[in-house]
Homo-oligomer: A and B are copies of this chain.
Amino acid sequence: MNYNKNFYPIKSNEEIFEKLVDEKKDIGYYKLPYQHTSDIKEYAKTVTQKDIVVVGIGGSSLGTYAIHNFLIHKQNGKKLHFLESTDPLDIKRRVSKIDLNDALFIIISKSGTTIETVSIFKYLHSLTTIDKTNCVCITEHDSKLNSYAKTNDIKTFEIPKDVGGRFSVFSPVGLLPLAIMGIDIDELLNGCKEVNNSFFEKRDYYTHIMNKARFLVENKNRFNINVLFSYSSLLEGFNKWYIQLWGESLGKINFNGTRQALTPIGILGPVDQHSFLQLVMEGVRDKTVTFVKVEEFGEDTTIPDISIPSLEELDYVNGIKFKDLINMQADSTIKAVEELGDIPCDVITIDKVDEFNIAKLMYSFQVLTSTVGKFVQIDTYDQPGVEIGKIILKNKLKKGE
């Protein structure tokens, strides 16, 4: 008797780890923590404009938005805008908030020919003069957008060929706009390094990530939905970034032709206690839940010791800091979920609202995604499923339908 095809062997952790070590040669995001940032920081210092406009979609904007959103209180006086949708009313409204005479346009497209980005870029051309004084491009070395920039003497920053859009936040795609906004990008990279080193030296992050990935994969048919329950409004952008990372990386046909998918959902506490929580608590047991908490918000606003006539029964919140209230809300929800006993959940605590911590969080999710991808034996870094729609669209447009 012979086994001719061992068609879905779940590998040992050690085998997976070896494969990850192996892919570090080809997959660029693992190298980003160690890049030089002086060119980016130098450029950022020269920016005088007040309105910073990121023109880019998907992986070209989500990571930047996530970090900007988390560190919004830590930035300089500049305003960061995002233009990405082709919704005409949305474009109009967003553009109306930009002072076109005091704006820097950051055009971001890995391929250089993203239809949404180029269409909006054309529209901006009709509104104002765009040249080397108010434009910078972030793209691949040999893209058409790079040729455009070179011809017009416009500064460019490069997206390495081996860094995919949804893994590009720690390349110039994210670092340049964030540096301009006053974010300490070296501290971001320090956070990435800590996770990268810890994982590949088989310390803490190795254990956490490998165990979690293995659990998710072994139970993927039973728990096909992974809920990220973030207890801070500042993590709204992070949730969106996670959804792209998880969904687009892991929704794939694997090497045996088997469809894979872990479906990501991002919700926010305490707001979604009044929305999605009921479904988690009483619905079908098809979800894992990862709670994300912020240990120290660094903001001591307190519920004042005011007794409102008729509402005295709520006086037990008096004198409590909001940061303690939200964490007690998180802990209460976590306890309620744990007590049910049949919903797999884990808790990630972010120490502080700073660059180092958000980078650790995001980088560790990238490594987790790569690890799960290896277990289910897919190409984590491509997205072949979205090409069909693009071709249909191009044909429609060319035919002038």
Q: Which residues of chain A have a CB within 8 Å of any CB of chain B? A: 57-59, 62, 72-73, 84-93, 112-113, 115-116, 118-119, 121-123, 125-126, 144-145, 147-148, 151-152, 165-166, 224-225, 231-234, 240, 243-244, 247-248, 250-253, 259-261, 263, 265, 268, 270-287, 297-301, 303-304, 306, 308-311, 313-314, 316-318, 320-323, 325-326, 328-329, 331-333, 335-336, 339, 353, 383-386, 388-390, 392-394, 396-398, 401
In angstroms, how far is the closest chain B Cβ from the Cβ of A209? 21
Please determine whether B85 and A316 come into contact, CB atoms closer than 8 angstroms.
no
Do A308 and B278 touch across chains, with their CB atoms under 8 A apart? no
Q: List 12 A-B contacts (CB under 8 A).
A: A58-B274, A85-B233, A88-B321, A91-B301, A92-B301, A123-B303, A144-B310, A240-B275, A248-B276, A251-B278, A263-B283, A333-B389
Q: A88–B145 contact, CB under 8 A?
A: no
Contact of A113 among B118, B125, B311, B396 (CB under 8 A): B311
Give CA–CA (A306, B130) in the complex, Å.
13
Expressed in whole angstroms, the Cα–Cα distance for A271 and B306 within the complex equals 45
- Chain B min CB distance to A90 (Å): 4
Task: Find the residue from A59, A91, A284, A335 having the highest chain B CB count within 10 A.
Answer: A284
Knowing A259-B282, A279-B250, A396-B328 are in contact, say whether A271-B317 is a contact too (CB < 8 A): no
Q: Determine the chain B residues whose CB is within 8 A of the CB of A323 once the complex forms.
A: 88
Q: With A224-B286, A353-B89 in contact, do A392 and B332 touch (Cβ < 8 Å)?
A: yes
Name A316's contact: one of B232, B273, B398 (CB within 8 Å). B398
Q: Which residues of B contact A125 (CB under 8 A)?
A: 304, 306, 308
User: So how many copies of this chain end up in the complex?
Assistant: 2
* Nearest B residue to A231, CB-CB: B87
Taking a contact as CB atoms under 8 Å apart, the answer to whether B86 and A147 are in contact is: no
- Of the candidates B233, B385, B398, the one whose C-beta lies within 8 Å of that of A281 is B385
Q: Which chain B residues lie closer than 8 Å to A165 at the CB level?
A: 274
Q: Knowing A86-B325, A398-B316 touch, does A275 contact B248 (C-beta < 8 A)? A: yes
Give complex CA distance A270, B248 in Å. Answer: 15
Q: Are B263 and A310 in contact (CB under 8 A)?
A: no
Would you call B283 and A259 a contact (CB within 8 A)?
yes
Q: Are B234 and A308 in contact (CB under 8 A)?
A: no
Q: Are B261 and A57 in contact (CB under 8 A)?
A: no
Q: A306 to B125, alpha carbons, bound, how many Å?
A: 8
Besides A166-B275, A251-B280, 17 more A-B contacts (Cβ < 8 Å) are A87-B297, A88-B326, A91-B301, A115-B317, A116-B270, A125-B308, A165-B274, A224-B284, A247-B275, A251-B279, A260-B284, A278-B386, A316-B398, A328-B393, A332-B392, A332-B396, A336-B392
Distance of A17 Cα from B91 Cα, bound (Å) = 43
For residue A177, give the distance in angstroms from its CB to the closest CB of chain B. Answer: 17
